[in-house]
Amino acid sequence: MNPLQPPSFSWGDRTYIMGVLNVTPDSFSDGGQFDSLERAIAQARALLKAGVDILDIGGQSTRPGAETVSLQVEIDRTLPVIEAIRAQVSDQVVISIDTTRVEVARGAIAAGANWLNDISAGRFEPAMLELPAELGVPIVLMHLRGTPQTMQSLTQYDDLLGEIAMVLLQQAQQVLKAGAQPEQIILDPGLGFAKTYEQNLEILRGLSQLRALGYPLLVGPSRKSFIGKILDQPDAQKRVWGTAAACCGAIAAGADILRVHDVAEMHDVCRVADAIWRQHSRNSHGIINTPA
């Protein structure tokens, strides 16, 4: 399966949904729910039925303070799931590998994944930025300061949106320098990663500033703590409608992809929000095709 072909992603026509499939025991809101092959396959089927466009497979928790697992553990968690989804669920759905490690990324693409999703934007392992050109795959570059262990102490910004834009553009330039095409790059401001409650809201209000950079924009507000603070809801799995509101705001500001846990509910949210805000709007930021 050629990683750039079907389905096609025509930015601006509608909002695309990336469904979270964490095959970890310790992710912040669904840790342990899908960390067996059978449960992961069942969840992949459920997400596909609910209308997901991209399945994002992650084997390393990135919650604040999460412990880093060994390379082999991450490989053992993710590659069998990708292979099983391709063999048993769908040979068409786009699969993204959520990793900061080059070896995991290479293995995942060989196993059937189509996209790379790196929360460090290639800062942890700079060779990650060479893979889009080498393997012919898109990459999501997310803004993060420090590591999941240290990020919540690194939230001082002089110009929040400006600094996020600067870092993401610098990393995007490295991807292009390695030989990739602009159409292979998606940017993510990193809600909740080295961001305070107030800063997360500022990012959502100012998404159009990041959208103006000219790349498709992915936003991941799903179940995050800033929503829990607003709702006074400590249980992440009970933040679905708060997530829906954040998703509406992101769509209104121009987000192209939403990374969410509750795909069925957010699928309805996207359909209505798209009817309101995208009915007469199109853009020219390109098409990512994911042909077999």
pLDDT tens digit string along 95-143?
A: 999 999 999 999 999 999 999 999 999 999 999 999 999 999 999 999 9
Confidence of residue 153 (pLDDT cuts 50, 70, 90): confident
In angstroms, the CA 108 to CA 98 distance is: 10
Number of structural domains (the chain) is 1
Which residue in the list 123, 195, 259, 278 is annotated as catalytic? 259
On whether residue 120 sits in a domain, the answer given is: yes
In angstroms, the CA 40 to CA 43 distance is: 5
Which residue in the list 224, 238, 239, 282 is annotated as catalytic? 224
Query: Which residues, including other chains, have CB under 8 Å from residue 99's CB and lie 6 or more apart?
Result: 58, 59, 60, 74, 78, 105, 108, 116, 117, 118
In contact, 190 and 168? CB cutoff 8 Å? no
Mean pLDDT of the 221-240 span: 95
> What's the pLDDT score for residue 288?
59
Q: Identify the helix (H) or strand (E) that includes residue 117.
A: strand 115-118
More confident residue, 174 or 151: 174
In angstroms, the CA 275 to CA 123 distance is: 38
HSE-up (13 A, CA, CB side) for residue 243: 26
CB atoms within 10 A of CB 238: 13
On whether residue 3 sits in a domain, the answer given is: no
On whether residue 1 sits in a domain, the answer given is: no
CA-CA-CA-CA torsion sign (62, 127, 92, 266): positive
In angstroms, the CA 292 to CA 135 distance is: 15
- What is the per-residue pLDDT across 36-67, written as a single tens digit (0 to 9) for each? 888 889 999 999 999 999 999 999 887 777 77
Query: Which residues, including other chains, have CB under 8 Å from residue 281's CB and lie 6 or more apart?
Result: 12
Confidence of residue 33 (pLDDT cuts 50, 70, 90): low
Q: What is the CATH number of the domain that holds 206?
A: 3.20.20.20
Domain that holds residue 244: 8-289
pTM comes to 0.90
Alpha helices (runs of H) in the chain, residue ranges in sequence order? 37-50, 71-84, 102-111, 131-135, 160-177, 197-205, 207-211, 225-231, 240-252, 263-277
259 is catalytic: yes
CA dihedral 238, 240, 243, 248 (to 10 degrees): -160
